Amino acid sequence: MVTQVSIVLIGLGLLMILGAMRRTQNLIRILPDRGQWPSLRNLMMFFAVGYAVYLYFLVSGSPFNKDLVASEVFFLSSLFMLMVVRFAYTTIHDILRLDELEELANTDDLTGMFNRRAIMHLLKDEYQKARRFGFPMSVAMVDLDHFKRINDTYGHLSGDLVLKEVAKVLKKGLRRIDVLGRYGGEEFLCILPSTAADGAVIMGERVRRQVKMLRFEVAGPEQLKPVNEEEVPSGETITVTVSVGVASMDSSMTDPEHVVSAADTALYAAKEGGRDRTCSASE
């Protein structure tokens, strides 16, 4: 009885090894850089031979040295575990490197928030969720007023500083579920899940007022530095403002870009209306 059970178990093990060898061979053909996969396949082949020899002696009843075969299988098992651990380490390292590269590809270098490609991809996801479950969703376009004047007067480095500080204010002014990205230049796109038009206007007004509280001290020719609320500036200071356009998704918007377009139109109305204000597409 024990011999029959052993035969069944070893036979199943042999079949599984052959199946694993087939998958490994497919990986070798697919991957341009084979790495250690051929070595793993060869090790499996040795395993298969050992299993087959052991199975043969059990079925035929021929005398053989069980200790020698068992020692071979144990040695190959140890070698197999070593290779699996090395493969796991290499795979985890590659995954972490890919995650880092993906994060760099989706991040705006200056502000540290999502770039345009990433924020539009996330917008599509939120749009589909809102359509599927019937949730409201809004977006807000936030644009710095007279940003070219800042660059021309104080230099591009100061302009970059202003963008960074405004980005910090926007991040603090949004909820944890909201998503923020740099849409381009001095323009930011805010995705507001589960938010109707009136809630989007409230959010727009909140961040608009918070940005207006920022102060920058003119520290020298073409040089600005942010001023904390507790600090007393020693020289001239300037403030910046933003215009905000918000739009909420409705049944007529069959594409997420339609929502962005509506918010952009509202932003244009805010600019035409004198800047430093929030306009809604529903108005």
Beta strands of the chain (E only): which ranges? 137-144, 179-184, 187-193, 215-220, 223-227, 237-238, 242-248, 278-280
Name the amino acid, one letter, at 254: T
Q: List the beta strands (DSSP E) in 55-146.
A: 137-144
61 CB-contact burial (10 Å; exposed 0-12 / middle 13-18 / buried 19+): exposed
The SS3 assignment for 180 reads strand
Structure tokens at 183: 């849409």
Tell me if 188 sits within 8 A of 181, measured CB to CB.
Answer: yes
Where in the sequence numbering do the catalytic residues fall? 186
Q: Return d(Cα 24, Cα 48) in angstroms, integer.
A: 14
Question: What is the chain's alpha carbon radius of gyration, rounded to the nearest angstrom?
Answer: 32
Contact 161, 151 (CB under 8 A): no
Q: How many beta carbons lie within 10 A of that of residue 185, not counting itself?
A: 11
Residue 57's alpha-carbon distances to 52, 60, 62, in angstroms, are 9, 5, 5
Q: Which among 182, 160, 216, 208 is positioned nearest to 112, based on CA atoms? A: 182
